[in-house]
Amino acid sequence: MTSSARALQIAITTGEPAGVGPELTVQALADAATRWPDARFTVLGDARLVEQRAAAVGADWARLVASGQVVLAERALAAPAQAGRLDAANGRYVLALLDAAIDGALAGEFDAIVTAPLQKSTINDAGVPFTGHTEYLAERTHTPRVVMMLAGTGAKPLRVALATTHLPLKDVSAALSVDGLVDTLRIIDRDLRRDFGLAAPRILVTGLNPHAGENGYLGREEIDVISPALARASAQGIDARGPYPADTLFQPRYLADADCVLAMFHDQGLPVLKYATFGEGINVTLGLPIIRTSVDHGTALDLAGTGRADPGSMIAALDTAVTMARHRRASA
């Protein structure tokens, strides 16, 4: 980073206070100066909670703050938090962290936000209807369509995006449309170019039904919806191919030249992705006006405060957020 370049500003929400988010945040930042010298990190959370969890896992929080690369944006808990024990009194506290990060990113204060896991039930028990991070981010940023993409790390990462997210399986077919799939492919293509530096992304698309519908014998969604959407996307310059049977698509020989797989529903694509990358995978919300990454796991209440939780996914989420912010700055 040159002396005149502004450091990238990354916000981190520490998530559910009874979960592993606070300690994973501190652990992931331990080598920040070496990993991300061009970035500065704002941790949103309760100061006492972060200090306690850092001490519990042997992390040197005081050194991080003294370095000047990490600062704490204090948001006080509504009630004392105990590792592994949920308390609905802190449901609105968790949302306050997320709101502060979103507002800061929309205002240009943050170049990206990274979210530690939260507990949906705690927020709902606090009286706030809540489906998940992805849907909340879309609502708060007034984004009509977002795309959930999970990804591994490495030189050739496996990326899996979803055409639908948290829906009952019986509702998936009705949620698919030609226009919706074209919009989804357009978002994936644009964000892979802008935020991941891919000049010509190649997207492989699954069918919905077994054997991609078997020419209509096992369902017509491939014929009536998915194939027309691919034809329209291709006409717009998007390299999207398929539909392919999901049970055979996830093989190295097919994925070797692919930059992303678009799966039709949550449990069609994510079991494969998580089997291949769990502990080092990340979640990225495409289509937003801001950059958001997250871990690929939940709150791990049984591991909170023990020091046994692996910070690998949080490190990967931070690394991806910084990389995306660098690309977006360069393309601005």
Instruction: Indicate which CATH number applies to the domain containing 327.
Output: 3.40.718.10
Residues 226 and 218: beta-carbon distance below 8 Å? no
3 and 103 co-located in one domain: yes
**Same domain as 180, residue 162:** yes
Provide the β-strand partners of residue 262: 161, 205
Mind listing the pLDDT tens digit for each residue in 112-141? 999 999 999 999 999 999 989 999 999 999
- For residue 174, give its domain range: 146-287
User: Can you give the pLDDT at residue 155?
Assistant: 65
Q: Which of 202, 279, 233, 331 is nearest to 24 (CA)?
A: 279
User: Would the pLDDT of 3 be above 80?
Assistant: no
Per-residue buried b or exposed e for 245-262, using 16+ beta carbons within 10 Å of the residue's own CB: bbeebbeeeebeebbbbb
pLDDT at 2 over 50: no
Average pLDDT over residues 53-64: 95
For residues 8 and 133, membership in a common domain is answered with yes
Write the pLDDT tens digit of every residue in 154-172. 667 899 999 998 889 999 9
Q: How does pLDDT run across 213-253, given as a tens digit for each residue?
A: 999 999 999 999 999 999 999 999 999 999 999 999 999 99
Distances 56 to 70, 75, 171, 299 between C-alpha atoms, Å: 19, 20, 44, 17
Running DSSP on this structure, what letter comes out for residue 190? H
184, 262, 308 from 149: Cα distances, Å: 11, 9, 27
Identify whether residues 220 and 108 lie together within a single domain: no
Q: In the predicted model, is pLDDT for residue 9 greater than 70?
A: yes
User: Do 131 and 218 reside in the same domain of the chain?
Assistant: no
Please give the pLDDT value at position 1.
46
pLDDT at 332: 80
Share of the chain above pLDDT 70, in %: 98
The answer, yes or no, to whether residue 300 has pLDDT greater than 60, is: yes
98 and 71 belong to one structural domain:
yes
Total domains in the chain come to 2
Rg (CA), the chain: 20
Report the phi/psi class of residue 18: left, alpha or beta, with left for phi > 0 and alpha for psi in -120 to 50: alpha
The pTM of this model reads 0.94
Query: Are both 4 and 82 inside the same structural domain?
Result: yes
Residues 6+ apart with CB under 8 A from 141: 102, 106, 288, 289, 290
Kindly report the average pLDDT of the chain as a whole number.
95
My answer on whether 192 and 280 are in the same domain is: yes
What is the structure's pLDDT at 156? Answer: 76
With a pLDDT cut of 90, the percent of the chain lying above it is 90
pLDDT at 270: 92
User: With 60 as the cut, is the pLDDT of residue 4 above it?
Assistant: no
**pLDDT at 54 > cutoff 60:** yes
Are residues 277 and 315 located together in one domain of the fold? no
Query: Within this chain, do residues 251 and 131 fall inside the same structural domain, yes or no?
Result: no
- Whether residue 121 sits in one domain with residue 14: yes
Q: How confident is the model at residue 274 (pLDDT cuts 50, 70, 90)?
A: confident
**299 plus 197 within the same structural domain:** no
Residues 6+ away with beta carbon under 8 Å from 187: 145, 146, 147, 286, 287
Residue from 89, 86, 76 nearest 19 by CA: 86
- Asked whether 52 and 81 are in contact (CB, 8 A), the reply is no
